[in-house]
A and B are shown apart, each in its own frame.
Chain A
Amino acid sequence: MRIRVGVPPTHFRTPEYIQGKQGRIDTLWGAFPNPESLAYGGDGLPAQPLYQVEFTQSDLWSDYQGSSDDKLLIDIYEHWLEPI
């Protein structure tokens, strides 16, 4: 999958350095109240599925010096994912 690109002026928990990057879904943690709603006093519903997504570090950083096997694991809500 790929991470959606977008920088809303509101609260979100998808860092910009992974936006537009391709990753692989590693784990489904379950569904949780949406923090983008909770942050403004909303009820967070409907709950959003939360995934652990795996990225290759060298895909994220053009000048990455570490091993090509190095990974980043990060939790991302489903509404930030798009199929490739």
Chain B
Amino acid sequence: MPKVHDRGGWPNDDPIDHDEHEMEEWERQVDALNGVLGDKGLKNTDQLRRAIESLDLKTYESLAYYEKWTAAMEMLLVEQGVMTKQEIDAKMSSMQQEQK
């Protein structure tokens, strides 16, 4: 059984979606953050790929492209001790409170 990323898509009869779309602001921010983390030596492309590949099948299939990057960057920053999962979760819940 190949790993989840080991292909361009599961074979089926669905037509390929060729629609182009403008990048959304959050996607640009993820891309920029990825560049900054790379410049600071906190991650490289192969580490990002390795982290994305480690997502379980259900998560991998449910996340959009830059959401996978985000999940992988979180994984790598926690792994390297830059921030903890608790700090990230606390920030997320305080941001969700502010939005209410």
Chain A contacts to B: CB under 8 angstroms: 7, 10-11, 15-17, 35, 38-41
A15 to B49, CA, bound (A): 14
Bound complex: CA of A11 vs CA of B45, how far in Å?
A: 12
Residues on A with C-beta less than 8 A from B7 are 15, 17
Q: Is the CB of A11 within 8 A of B6?
A: no
Cβ A17 vs Cβ B47 within 8 A: no
In chain A, what residue has the closest Cβ to B43? A41
Choose among A15, A16, A17, A40 the residue that contacts B50 (Cβ–Cβ < 8 A): A40
Residues in chain B near residue A7, CB distance under 8 A: 2-3
Which residues does chain B contribute within 8 Å of A39, judged by CB atoms? 46-47, 49-50
Bound-state CA distance A7–B44 (Å) is 22
Residue of B nearest to A15 (CB): B6
Q: Inside 8 A of A41's CB, which chain B residues have their CB?
A: 47
Taking the complex as formed, is B67 at the interface, i.e. its CB lies under 8 A from any CB of chain A? no
B2 cross-chain contacts in A, Cβ below 8 A: 7, 15-17
Note all chain B residues with C-beta closer than 8 A to A10.
50
Q: How far is the CA of A11 from the CA of B50 in the complex (A)?
A: 5
A40 partner residues in chain B, CB cutoff 8 A: 47, 50
Of listed A7, A10, A41, residue having the most chain B CB within 10 A? A41
Q: Give the docked Cα–Cα distance between A8 and B44 (Å).
A: 21
B53 at the A/B interface (Cβ < 8 Å)? yes
| Chain B residues with CB under 8 A of A17 | 2, 6-7
The reply to whether A11 and B44 form a contact with Cβ atoms under 8 Å apart is no
CB distance from A13 to the nearest CB of B (A): 8
How far is B4's CA from A11's CA once the two chains are assembled, in angstroms? 12
